[in-house]
Amino acid sequence: MLHKPGVTESLAQNIVATRWEDIPAPVRHQAKRSFMNFFAVALAGCRTQPVEIALRSLSEFSGGKQVTLVGRSERIDALSAAFLNAAGANVYDFCDTHVRTVIHPTAPVAPALLAYAELRPVRGADLLLAFILGNEVEDRIGNAISPSHYNRGWHITSTCGVFGAAAGAGKLAALDARQMVSALGTAATQAAGLCECLGTAAKSASVGNAARNGLWSALLAEKGFDGPPEPLAGVQGFYSVLNETVDLSAVTDGWGDSWQIMATSYKPYPCGFVINPVLDCVLDWRRDHPAEVVTAVVVRGNPLLAIRTDRPDISTGRESQVSVQHAVAAALVTGKAGVEQFNDASARDPQVTALRGKVEVLRDESFSTIAAAVDITTADGKVHKLSQTAARGSDVNPFADSDLEAKLRTAAAGWDSSHDITPLIEAIWALDQSADVSKLASLAVLR
C-alpha cells in the first residue's frame, strides 16, 4: 500500500524542501519590509509595563545573557528573549497584519528566529527564508479556519503564531520532515490565547509564548522529542479540537505558487487593525476642522470592528488600543494617532473621554476589514460623510519602503533622538547579503 502523507506531513515536507532559490525577489523584499516594521513596533513596545514586568520576573529564572532584547541594554536567555521581543512587538497592536486571517505574523516568528541566530550562526538569506516559511505556515494554518476561529475569540496571532515560530526555527535547525512534524505537534499542544485578554497585560503572555514555545518546539524536536503523526488534522488534533469549520486544502494547496507574506499590511497607527481605516477618515477630516464642533460620530465597518473594538468605557492605554471610540476621540482632539494617543494619559484625558461618549459603531457585512465609513455631525447640524475603501498600509494600499523606514525612525527617536538608527535600516535592506545576522538586533539597542 502506498503511504499517503497526512496534512501535517505534507506541510512539513514543503517546509523542508523549500530553498532560498525558490523565493521570488518581491517576496524576499517583502520579508525585509516586515523586519523593518518589526523593529519599529518592537522599539515602540520594548519598555511598556507588560514587558517590564515579564522581564523582571524571567530574570529571576534565566541563565546567561545569550540574546539581545530589542531597544534594551539587558540580555537574557534565548527562550525568554523570544518571549519578550514578541510581547513587546505586539503590545501596541502596531504590528503587521495578514489581512485574511487578521494574524499579526511577524511578532511570534521574527523574535524566535533572531533568538536562534544568536545561539548558532545564521546567514541572512537563511533568516529571510525561515521567516518567509514561518509566515507561510502560520497564515496557511489560519486560512483554513478563518474567519470562524478568530471570531470565536481565539487570539489567532498566538494560536497560529506558535506554528510559524516552530516552522521557522525548525527550518533554521535544518530539521528533517519527521522532526518537523514533531515540532509542529509540540507546537499544536501549546496553541493557546484568548481575545478576552485584549487590552490587558495577559494578552502579551500568549503572544510571547507563541514565539518562545514555537522556538522551543523546534529545539526539542531536534533532540528527539516526538509528537503524534497528525497533530493538525487528527481526530483529537488542533483543527478538530479548537475549531468547527475547517478547510484543510488551505494548508498545503498551491504551495509555492504565491506567498502569504505578500498579503501583509503594515499599520500606520498603534491600535487594532480594524480601526485603521476609521482613523484614515477621521485624520483626513480633522486636518481642516477643529474637534470642538463635533457633536456625534457614527462609524460603520466590518462586524469585526464592533466585535473587537466597541469599547466606549476604557481607562488604560492598553485598553485604548482596542477601543474605536477612543481612537476616534483621541484623533479628533489631537489631530494625530501615534503612540502618545494610546497611552494611559490619553485614555484618561477629560476631553478625549467626553468625546468617546459621542461615538457609535455599526456593523455592516458589506465592508471588508480594511474599509470603513465615518459620519461626523457638527454643531451646525451638518453631517460630514467620509469613507476609506482600503486602509493605508494595507496590502492593496501599501506603505512605500520609505514609509516603513520613517516608521522605524519615529519609533527609535521616541526613545532616544540621538541614536542613529540608519545602520539598522541599511542592515535590513542588505540582509540577503549578510554572512551572519547575530549582530542585527544589537543595532536596535538604544542606550
Question: Site residues (CB under 8 A) for a copy of itself?
Answer: 49-50, 53-54, 56-57, 60-64, 66, 77-80, 152-155, 158, 182, 185-186, 188-197, 199-203, 205-206, 209, 213, 216-217, 219-220, 223-228, 230-231, 234-238, 240-242
Of the pair 122, 191, the CB lying nearest a copy of itself is at: 191
Of the pair 199, 338, the CB lying nearest a copy of itself is at: 199
* Residue 181 Cβ vs a copy of itself, minimum distance, rounded to whole Å: 10
Cβ neighbours for 280, distance < 8 A, ≥ 6 positions apart: 372, 388, 391, 392
Which of 163, 183, 64 lies closest to 115 in space, CA to CA?
64
Q: How far apart are CA 312 and CA 220, in angstroms?
A: 45
Report the DSSP pairing between strands 359-363 and 294-301: parallel
Whole-angstrom CA distances from 3 to 9, 227, 237 are: 11, 19, 20
Amino acid at 158: S
* Residue 64 Cβ vs a copy of itself, minimum distance, rounded to whole Å: 7
Of the pair 215, 352, the CB lying nearest a copy of itself is at: 215
Helix 106-119 with 202-222: angle, nearest 10 deg: 50
* Residue 47 Cβ vs a copy of itself, minimum distance, rounded to whole Å: 15
* Residue 268 Cβ vs a copy of itself, minimum distance, rounded to whole Å: 26
Q: How far apart are CA 354 and CA 212, in angstroms?
A: 41
Q: How far apart are CA 17 and CA 161, in angstroms?
A: 21
Give the 3-state secondary structure of residue 122: coil
Q: How far apart are CA 268 and CA 392, in angstroms?
A: 7
Of the pair 214, 268, the CB lying nearest a copy of itself is at: 214
Of the pair 93, 395, the CB lying nearest a copy of itself is at: 93
Of the pair 63, 381, the CB lying nearest a copy of itself is at: 63
Q: Which three cell numbers stand for residue 355?
A: 468625546
Of the pair 200, 389, the CB lying nearest a copy of itself is at: 200
* Residue 224 Cβ vs a copy of itself, minimum distance, rounded to whole Å: 6
Asked whether 265 and 395 are in contact (CB, 8 A), the reply is yes
Q: How many residues does the chain have?
A: 447
Q: Which three cell numbers stand for residue 214?
A: 514555537
Give the 3-state secondary structure of residue 244: coil
* Residue 203 Cβ vs a copy of itself, minimum distance, rounded to whole Å: 7
Of the pair 21, 60, the CB lying nearest a copy of itself is at: 60
Q: How far apart are CA 277 and CA 247, in angstroms?
A: 29
* Residue 55 Cβ vs a copy of itself, minimum distance, rounded to whole Å: 10
Give the 3-state secondary structure of residue 240: helix
* Residue 273 Cβ vs a copy of itself, minimum distance, rounded to whole Å: 16
Of the pair 56, 287, the CB lying nearest a copy of itself is at: 56
Whole-angstrom CA distances from 374 to 43, 180, 281, 298, 362 are: 32, 47, 7, 6, 10
* Residue 73 Cβ vs a copy of itself, minimum distance, rounded to whole Å: 18
